[in-house]
Structure 1
Amino acid sequence: MLVVNLIKHQQEYVIGHLAYALAGYAQTIVLCSEWVSKRFGIELNILINSKLRMA
């Protein structure tokens, strides 16, 4: 009984740890993509605006 409880607890711990790690990765990816889109979005807007002015 004790062994079963330990295994069950270990599984819950591992699953919780994985979920936490995945959530951290997802958050990092979202933050990176937001940063990239902001940075390159601004640069693209400048390029588009300068091309429109030249036309």
Structure 2
Amino acid sequence: MLVVNLIKHQQEYVIGHLAYALAGCAQTIVLCSEWVSKRFGIELNILINSKLRMA
């Protein structure tokens, strides 16, 4: 009985860690994509504006 409880507890522990890690990864991806879109969005706007001025 004790072994079964230990295995069950171990599974919950692993699943909890996986969920936490996935949440961390998702947050990191969102932050990175926001940073990239801000950075490159601004650079794209500058490129488009300079092209419009030349035209």
Percent identity over the alignment is: 98
* Offset of residue 53 of structure 1: 1.0
Structure 2: state its 5+ residue gaps: none
> How many equivalent residue pairs?
55
Structure 1: state its 5+ residue gaps: none
CA shift digits 1:11-46 (9 cap, x unpaired) = 000000011001101110110111011000000001
In the alignment, the residues of structure 2 paired with residue 45 and residue 3 of structure 1 have an alpha-carbon distance, to the nearest angstrom, of: 62
In the alignment, the residues of structure 2 paired with residue 48 and residue 17 of structure 1 have an alpha-carbon distance, to the nearest angstrom, of: 45
Q: Structure 1 stretches (4+) deviating beyond 3 angstroms?
A: none
TM-score scaled by structure 2? 0.95
TM-score scaled by structure 1? 0.95
